[in-house]
Chain A
Amino acid sequence: MARLLITTLAAALMPAAARADEFLAMPGLWQTAYEVDGATAGADDNKGSAPRVVWHCVDEAANPWVSFAQLQDLPGMTCKASSQERSSTSLKWQTECHGPGPEAVADVIEVSGAIVFDSPQHYRGWVRFNGTLMGYPLHSSSKVEGTHKAACTSPSD
């Protein structure tokens, strides 16, 4: 059976004495919706479209950066965090991604984002992309909303 997200429960119980690694988010199945605000390069199709929805499990002892900031590399690019700030209820990050090829011509995209939890089951925030993609300017911004929908099993069950 599921082990617990120690940090979650501890945070719920002990907000005044929260350790640095505690994070107020409930383990389980999360639905994350991304709603594009605008785009100037190759993303016009996204304007006015329904939010993109992603489902994922957050298991016990999860790293909130991995579970909620989703800092994976963009396709074909290598990314490196340039700044990260967190509290028990928020994450804020900035990442720089470099495309393949010589530095002078390679695409560079700066990804920034922030989310704030108003409860262990819900957060809102934003993600922005600024830079060049295949040599064209890219400026895109999305609203992000995450909602805990159910429990979820995990590798440690």
Chain B
Amino acid sequence: MTELGNDRLVWIYTQMLRIREFEERVKRTFEDHPGVIRGHTHLADGAEASIVGSVATLNPGDQILATYRCHGYPLALGTDANAMMAEIYGRTGGLCGGYGGSMHLVDPERGFLGTSGIVGQGIPHATGAAYAAQIRKQGQVVLSFFGDGSTKQGAFSESLNIASLWKLPIVYVMENNSYNVVTRSEQEDANAAAGEPLAIKATAFAMPGVTVDGADPIAVYDVVGAAVERARAGDGPTLVESKVYRLSAHGNLIAPPGVPLHYPEHEAITVFGNREEYEAALRGDPVPRFRARLIEDGVLSAEQADGIGSEVRIEMQAAVDFGLNSPLPAAERALDHVYA
């Protein structure tokens, strides 16, 4: 284990729990408050260790860009959960005033520069932010988060080529959850079909590629941390393949208005009939796994861990209440912010 102090380990666990609880509350909103969440949401449950282990390596001033599955990163960066939930509920108190919703959270003051809802298209944005960081010479590093599906987009290849060529201070964190929506990686990825780790794609761009267990926040911290250090030193980008298991379906049900929205079961079950795969993933759930490890290592007592759990539940209940109580925007505000 890296020489992370106990405070830092507890911080990591707390952030993981906050993300899990936040996502559970989003999911429950579909049942408890039908109609409050519109459109499509995508949850980060199962990826908490990967997200927090990565974010834990950053310094103030570093930046993150991500995808539509974007609730976890700002929580770990310190964004107000109330404002995030209100955004997902489309309220004036939302992080982006109800203009963006679940897929488009932004918090530039905390370094969360934005997300793209289109697969792979945020990778060049992160690369451009890294170009800006390189020019400014203040030692900033950018983390670019995306899924395994993105790596078949030209935006991925084009960006990694330039980042390596220009030695940009960026770490590409591919969260490989083995599915692109309902398609399994080996059905759409030549490396996966050949039994190769997807990190091997880095070799085409003359940069290191590392695969890590994304369910282990310390392993992620070590691997991403080394890549961040390399980037900060001016030695260029790294591709990290972080293997995670998404514990919810790709997103909530896609249906026209009038049909109640909910979260179906994971595609391993609904599409591929592989309940055992999903149950094995549940047995490896990174949140209880890390809790057990911290207790075993004497970092936390069970009572302290329970106490953190209670605080997090209170925080996220408050976020739900805040979101529900925040007013809907005035309709004519829809014409604000079209141009700066």
Pairing of A with B: no
